[in-house]
Amino acid sequence: MIKQPAAGRLRLRNLMEGPGLASPPSKDYVHYQHTDGCSLSRWTAKESYQFMYARPWQKVNDFYLDMVNGHRSLSELFGNEITSQTYAVHDGAETVEDCDKPELLSFPAEGRSGRWARLTFKILLSYHGSSFDGWQKQPGLSTVQGLIERSLGKFVDEKKAQQLKEKKLPIDGCAVAAGRTDKGVTALQQVCSFYTWRKDVKALDIKDAINSAAPGKIRVISVSQVSREFHPNFSAKWRRYFYIFPFNDDNMDDNASQCKKNVLDGAVYQDGQHGECFDEESCKSVINVDDQSELQTGNKPLSFEVSHVNHLLRQLEGKLLSFRMFARDTKASRNIGPPTECFVFHARAAEAYLPCAKDGTSTKTMCIELVANRFLRKMVRVLVATAIREAAAGADEGALIKLMDATCRRATAPPAPPEGLCLVDVGYTDFQRNFCLIP
């Protein structure tokens, strides 16, 4: 006798016993019901998505590409007087003062054997986010980790190479990073490490191997030998992210085509909790509105003040908070694993002007700088989009703090576009505020 699956038996029983015991309807996710006075002015997830994507993101993309190749620096957004105290610009490339602990740079003592005998290298590199499918190595995708590990394969020791051959695996090295970045997110000073038991490996050889793998898309800033104790992720004390949000200019055709491409290429947006469809006509209704106008759709304003965003973000500074409502692809409440608390050292927003190398013009932007001991998955992008949404709705300065106690992640906005996000650097000593770009 062939047994019928349990799900099939349940459906059959429901049909036989009548409509009273029918299977429950599918869960219908609706917009989160905010209870404050700004609830009628706050954008829905769909409206927030459209507002964020109707931007000249290609200009930001080009700017980040120039930075990766050493032709631009973040100091050009604000003026040299803001960053001259902590940054030095050499040949158009921006470098940060060395911040490693002396003990992390000490070499293993001679005569040690086993794991202490291996050589560990710290690799500081920059890469263009839109040229890769994120950091993490994945089958069939062009990722930063995959490219680096293929380049490091030539430095693998013989024992490991033989083990990989026996398993019929490619001879790749193993690269560990300070943090993963999503597809489209650029990194200016990502930190990763690689170790080998070979004694003839030179730092310059590693640098040349990676630089030749994808010229113009990835660039190694430095390679240095460090001690066995160094770990790019666990040794880090803070990470700094930068987000550039461009305002629309008079050339609306470029913005329309970019928004159309983003919406039509991914007609259904999923944030891990719910999905909504975004059509072309809705996108057009957003991109035909000037950012600085007071036009509204119903009671919802389509403009915001950068100073308001700055006030919202500054309330996060110096606090250890649970950002579970701002995370995506991460369980809202965890019984095991790392907690969702993050300590924010610095959170500011300021107006800036994005230089355009093609025509010599500049585009008005809002830059957001966030420094914390750790960040959750997509936390920065959700935080940026939510801060903009709350500023446009006219919420009070504690709006982001109040959202920490929300009961559903639909209370926060969908993640902002990844093209605006950049991992600036990673720190291994105590955070110093004079390293910040936005005072």
pLDDT in tens, 235-252: 999 999 999 999 986 433
What is the mean pLDDT of the segment spanning 416-435? 93
Strands (E), 147-217: 176-177, 186-196
Distance, in Å, from the CA atom of 367 to the CA atom of 242, rounded to the nearest integer, reads 7
55-83 tens-digit pLDDT: 999 999 999 999 999 888 898 888 654 44
| Distance (Å, whole) CA 302 – CA 313 | 20
* Residue of 360 and 163 predicted with greater confidence: 163
Residue with the two structure tokens 């490996």: 201
CA distance 183 to 127: 11
pLDDT score, position 3: 52
pLDDT score for 131: 92
CA-based max dimension of the chain: 82
Query: Terminal CA-to-CA distance of the chain, rounded, Å?
Result: 75
* Residue 168, pLDDT score: 83
pLDDT at 88: 35
Helix spans in 226-279 (H):
252-265
Average pLDDT over residues 372-378: 93
Give 372 or 12, the one with higher predicted confidence: 372
- Among candidate residues 226, 43, 276, 273, the one with its CA nearest the CA of residue 123: 226
Q: How far apart are CA 178 and CA 417, in angstroms?
A: 22
Per-residue pLDDT at 187 exceeds 70: yes
The answer on pLDDT for 337 being more than 70 is: no
| pLDDT beyond 90 at 323 | yes
Q: Which of 153-167, 293-307, 337-351, 367-381 has the lowest mean pLDDT?
A: 293-307
Going by pLDDT thresholds of 50, 70 and 90, the confidence category of residue 217 is: very high
What is the rounded CA–CA span in Å between residue 357 and residue 66? Answer: 9
The pLDDT value recorded for residue 255 is 41
Q: Is pLDDT of 93 > 50? A: no
List residues with catalytic annotation. 182
Domains observed in the chain: 45-63+241-435 (3.30.70.660), 107-226 (3.30.70.580)
pLDDT of residue 4: 52
Residues of the chain with pLDDT > 90, as a percent, come to: 46
pLDDT tens profile 107-137? 444 555 555 578 899 999 999 999 999 998 8
More confident residue, 402 or 40: 402
**Separation CA 298–CA 289 (nearest Å):** 14
Gap between the Cα atoms of 59 and 420, Å rounded: 10
Rounded to whole angstroms, how far apart are CA atoms 373 and 238? 4
In whole angstroms, give the CA distance from residue 35 to residue 26: 26
Residue 213: count of CB within 10 angstroms of its CB: 15
Instruction: List, as one string, the DSSP characters of 314-376.
Output: HTTTTEEEE-GGG-SSS-SS-SSSS-SEEEEEEEEEEEEEEE-TTTS-EEEEEEEEEEES---
Tokens 């000073």 sit on residue = 189
Of the candidates 60, 43, 63, the one whose C-alpha atom is nearest the C-alpha of residue 304 is 43
42 closest CA partner among 396, 423, 281: 396
CB atoms within 10 A of CB 373: 16
DSSP 129: G
Q: What is the pLDDT of residue 48?
A: 92
Helix segments in 152-251, DSSP class H: 158-166, 203-211
- On the question of pLDDT at 84 being above 60, the answer is no
According to the model, what pLDDT value does residue 275 have? Answer: 32
**297: β partners:** 300
Copy the structure tokens of residue 183. Answer: 């597809």
pLDDT digits (tens, 9 = 90+) for 4-47: 555 555 554 554 455 544 555 554 455 678 888 888 888 999 99
Mean pLDDT over each residue of the chain, to the nearest integer: 77
On the question of pLDDT at 261 being above 50, the answer is: no
Place of tokens 């891990």: 272
